[in-house]
Amino acid sequence: MLTVTELNKVYDGHGRRVEAVGELTFTVEPGQFVCIVGPSGCGKTTLLRCIAGLLPPTAGEVWLAGQRVSGPPKGLAVVFQEYGRSLFPWLRVAANVELPLRAAGLSRAARRRQVAEALDAVGLADAHGAYPWQLSGGMQQRVAIARAIAYQPQVLLMDEPFAAVDAQTRADLEDLIRSVWQRFEMTMLFVTHDIDEAVYLGQRVITLSAAPTHIADDIEIDLPAERDQLTTRGAPRFTELRGQVYAQIQKAKLERQ
C-alpha cells in the first residue's frame, strides 16, 4: 500500500520561493492502477519524484509497504519521460534491462530468465543484442518498461512516459501497459497531462489543481476491465468520465488566474 500524507514541497533558492506541491493526501491500494492528471506545471513530476524518494519533501510523508520513504525504496521502479536519456547508450538492450538485477544481486540464471520474460512481455524478444539508439522512440520506451518489469517492483511509477512518442505508437504503448499491469499485478501510478489517456488507462483518476497543488478530484473509473482503443473510447460512459475530469481541470486552471 502506498500512502501520501500532507505532502508539501517548496523549492527555495536564488531568492525565489516556489511552492510546487501545496498539500496532498491520498492512498493507493496494492494492485490499483491510478492515473494522476493536472494542468502542465502543476507539480506532477515533483510529486512523483517525492514518492520515488528522489526528492525530499519539505513537509509530509510518503509510506510504501509500511516503510517511510526517505530515499529510493526497494520494490519501486520509475519509467521516465525521456526514454532516450534513461537508457544506457553503451549497453545493449538486454544488458540495460539486466543492470538493476545485477545491482540487486540476483543469480545469473534468475537474471537471464527475468530479462527474457520482460523483453518478451513488451514485444522485444528479438532485440536483446541491439543498442537502444538503434531503436525507434517507441521501442526505446518499451525497453525502459521491460527494465521496470524485470525488476519486479510492487509499485511502478510512470512520469508522462508516452508524451514524446507519436499518436499511433502511443495507443500501442497504452494497451501494452494495461496488459503488463494485468499480467504482473503491480501497483501503477501513472502521471500524464492527457485526460483521455488517464481515463482510458486508470481504475481511478486523481485530478490535481494548479500549483501549489492540491487534489481537485478523485474519481473511480467504472469502465470494464477489458479495454479496447475503439470500443472503450467510443463508450458513452468514457465520454462522461472524460467530461468530468476535463471540467475539473478547467476549474483548476480558472482558480489559478
Partner 1 sequence: MIVRIAYRTTMILALPALLFATWWIASDGSTAFYIPPLRVILEAFGDTWFGPRLVDDVLPSLARLGFGYLIALLIGVALGVAIGLRQSLRALLEPTLEFLRAIPPPVLVPILMLFAGIGDEMKILVIVSGCVWPVLLNTVEGVRAIDGVLLDTCRSYRIGGWLRMWHLVLRSASPQIVTGARQALSVGIILMVISEMFAASSGLGFTIVQFQRGFQIPEMWSGVLLLGLLGVLLSLIFRLVEHQVLAWYHGLRAVEKER
Site for partner 1, rule CB under 8 A = 52-54, 71-72, 74, 76-78, 80, 82, 85-86, 88-91, 99-100, 102-104, 131, 133-134, 147, 151
Sequence-ordered strand ranges (E) for the chain: 2-13, 16-28, 33-37, 59-64, 67-68, 76-79, 155-159, 187-192, 204-208, 215-220
In the complex with partner 1, which residue's Cβ is closer, 155 or 210? Answer: 155
In the complex with partner 1, which residue's Cβ is closer, 97 or 206? Answer: 97
Backbone angles phi, psi at 216, to 5 degrees: -85, -35
DSSP line for 166-183: -HHHHHHHHHHHHHHHHH
In the complex with partner 1, which residue's Cβ is closer, 114 or 209? Answer: 114
Which positions ≥6 away from 168 have C-beta within 8 Å?
A: none
- Minimum Å gap between C-beta 221 and partner 1 is 27
- Contact predicate 62/68, CB 8 Å: yes
In the complex with partner 1, which residue's Cβ is closer, 10 or 91? Answer: 91
- Minimum Å gap between C-beta 143 and partner 1 is 12
- Minimum Å gap between C-beta 200 and partner 1 is 26
Backbone angles phi, psi at 195, to 5 degrees: -65, -45
- Minimum Å gap between C-beta 67 and partner 1 is 14
CA 138 to chain centre: 16
Could you tell me which of 216, 218, 220 has the C-alpha nearest to residue 237? Answer: 220
Could you give the C-alpha distances from 192 to 15, 16, 158, in angstroms and in order? 30, 27, 8
In the complex with partner 1, which residue's Cβ is closer, 89 or 224? Answer: 89
In the complex with partner 1, which residue's Cβ is closer, 31 or 100? Answer: 100
- Contact predicate 132/143, CB 8 Å: yes
Which positions ≥6 away from 24 have C-beta within 8 Å?
A: 4, 6, 7, 8, 47, 60, 213, 214, 215
Q: What is the DSSP letter of 115?
A: H
- Minimum Å gap between C-beta 51 and partner 1 is 11
- Minimum Å gap between C-beta 93 and partner 1 is 12
In the complex with partner 1, which residue's Cβ is closer, 66 or 71? Answer: 71
- Minimum Å gap between C-beta 179 and partner 1 is 23
